[in-house]
Amino acid sequence: MRIGVIGTGNVGRALAKAWAAAGHEVVLGSRDPEARKDLGLPVAEVREAAAGAEVVVNATPGADSVALLRAAGADVLDGKVLVDIAVGFTVEDDGFALTHTGVSLGEEIQRAFPAARVVKTLSTMDSSAMVAPDDLAEESTVFLSGDDPAAKAVTGTLLTDLGWSPASQLDLGGIETSRGQEHFALLFVAIMGALGTHTFNVRVVPQGKG
């Protein structure tokens, strides 16, 4: 599959490498591709990376995502699966705070690009866990939110390629459930402080003895 990963931070680089290793054709999208030539993967302008892809992945800083994708041109996202990993936050004196409260970035992206098929996923964990779920002590849970079932199915296969078994993937429903994934960031930060590491995840434990 041709995947355009927009964003060359920790998340974008980790996902791009993992999907390339799984046999996909991956291009990273950057606002400054020349400065990113040393990543070991093809890097293009954001618009070009999105235009050539079947699946576009938003791994840009959440507070800037809508503006950045809009600048690239909404037309290159039309009809495409748009996997949104981002969470918008600020770190103030008062602590960590979300930039999208009472709504979610996932919903805002879907509204801004109505012809894109947005799927929110992987936003409840650090990049180290995203691409190596088997390195955790036991199987944990990855969430999916989106309005297009076929787009969620495609995203599910890409998650499987990262090591997420179908049983570990929990479809939460429509894109409005992105709120849950994004607001988890506040608990993520607290757990990270308690454990002293960002490499962990949560597992949903259902009723009834296994």
Binding of its own copies at residue 180 (CB under 8 A)?
yes
82's tokens: 């748009």
Binding of its own copies at residue 99 (CB under 8 A)?
no
Stretch that binds its own copies, among 50-58, 65-73, 140-148, 157-165 (CB under 8 A): 140-148
Query: C-beta of 82: minimal distance to its own copies in Å?
Result: 20
Binding of its own copies at residue 209 (CB under 8 A)?
yes
- Please answer whether residues 24 and 98 qualify as being in contact, where contact means their C-beta atoms are separated by less than 8 angstroms: no
- Nearest Cα neighbor of 174 from 106, 114, 109, 125 is 106
Beta bridge partners of 96: 91
Query: C-beta of 127: minimal distance to its own copies in Å?
Result: 14
18 three-state secondary structure = helix
- Nearest Cα neighbor of 147 from 85, 203, 82, 204 is 82
Binding of its own copies at residue 79 (CB under 8 A)?
no
Residues 6+ apart with CB under 8 A from 146: 106, 117, 118, 119, 120, 152, 155, 174, 175
| Rounded Cα–Cα distance for residues 113 and 90 (Å) | 24
Looking at the Cβ atoms of 101 and 165, the one nearer to its own copies is 101
For residue 145, the one-letter residue type is: S
Binding of its own copies at residue 191 (CB under 8 A)?
yes
Looking at the Cβ atoms of 48 and 199, the one nearer to its own copies is 199
Binding of its own copies at residue 207 (CB under 8 A)?
yes
Residues forming contacts to its own copies in the complex (CB under 8 A) are: 95, 97, 101-102, 124, 135-141, 143, 145, 170-173, 176-177, 179-181, 183-191, 193-195, 197, 199-210
